[in-house]
Amino acid sequence: MGGTVVIKWGGGLITHKDKLCTVNQGVIESLAEVCKNSNKNLVIVHGAGSFGHMKAKKYRLADGRIEGIEQDEAVQDVRNDMLELNQIVVTALQAKGLDVKSFPPHKWAKGTGPNFSGNLPIHDGVTVVYGDVVDDYVKDFGILSGDDLMLRYATELSGVERAIFAIGEVDGILRVPPSKAGPDDLIEVWHPEMEFEGEHAVDIDVTGGIGLKAARGAMIASKGVDVILVNGEIPQRVSDAIEGFPVIGTRIVLGNC
Ligand code: IPE
């Protein structure tokens, strides 16, 4: 049995981000196949995409309780939508014969951002968690991003070999927004002092887009864990990243190395 690898399946990768509650079933199945073929202990953190951001944005759930807006139903709806997406992910992994257990964060985590509270649940087989609407001490509720779960799992579990962010549509962090990028614009090694012009769909995204992944990736790297962003639409790259082989993507390192 290999060591532990913590991997994010980005919401923009596993769903169609602009169509409410629609999954990218082909991608989910190919990612599940990659997991089946690995002998690592896997922790999978999945994002929300169109199962989370749209309604959360409309009802301002990331801001917490706001007087004058009826938000309770939306909190429930988004939690249910995320349970539905999570079930699709879990079913795809189980269909490959994997022993999977999922831990919905609204049941065990409280607070948002990197310092949320709650003991990180872990399963002997494949552990699955996801970005969710969680209770919050101050705001009543809020959005806990999968990127913050990545940070905590990658840095607090023992024996983590690397953290991988599998993302949709791009090969990693690009120097310019994807719409303007050419083949030479992939940043192969990124460190926090380097600037990039990330495209963040603030109109639909209630968490941090590529910028949050880069920031959390840097925090993970600062604890000595390897971090790589790869194009999750190309299964071989995800597989190579999990096994620690050289792969096209963006490695996040500390300082100018
Ligand atoms: C967001 O989680 C959770 C909700 C909006 C409910 P993430 O921040 O991990 O989601 P993606 O990967 O950007 O979709």
Query: pLDDT tens-digit profile of 146-184?
Result: 999 999 999 999 999 999 999 999 999 998 888 888 889
For residue 240, tell me if it sits in a domain: yes
Pick from 76, 60, 81: which is nearest to 139 by CA? Answer: 60
Q: Check if 133 has its Cβ closer than 6 Å to any atom of ligand 1.
A: yes
Q: What is the pLDDT of residues 200-247, one digit of tens each?
A: 666 667 777 888 999 999 999 999 999 999 999 999 999 999 999 999
Query: Residue 77 has which token pair?
Result: 């709806």
- Contacts (Cβ under 8 Å, ≥6 apart) of 12: 47, 49, 167, 168, 169
Q: Whose CA is closest to atom 14 on ligand 1?
A: 11
Cβ–ligand 1 distance for 232 under 6 Å, the answer no
Three-state SS string over 18-67 comes to CCCCCECHHHHHHHHHHHHCCCCEEEEEECCHHHCHHHHHHCCHHHCCCC
42 part of a folded domain? yes
CA 177, CA 97: separation in Å to the nearest integer? 39
Pocket test for ligand 1, best of 207, 212, 229 (most atoms within 8 A of CB): 207
Note the pTM of the prediction, 2 decimals.
0.95
53 close to ligand 1 (CB < 6 Angstrom): yes
- Count of Cβ atoms closer than 10 Å to residue 122 Cβ: 15
Q: What is the CATH number of the domain that holds 41?
A: 3.40.1160.10
Domain that residue 52 falls in:
4-252
pLDDT at 38: 97
Structure tokens at 248: 């096209």
**How far is the CA of 184 from the CAs of 171, 176, 192, 227, in angstroms?**
11, 10, 20, 21
**56: Cβ below 6 Å to ligand 1?**
yes
DSSP 180: G
Split into its structural domains, the chain has a count of: 1
Q: Is residue 111 part of a domain?
A: yes
Question: Nearest to residue 210, comparing CAs of 241, 166, 243, 156?
Answer: 166
Question: Is residue 257 assigned to a domain?
Answer: no
Judge whether 147 lies within some domain: yes
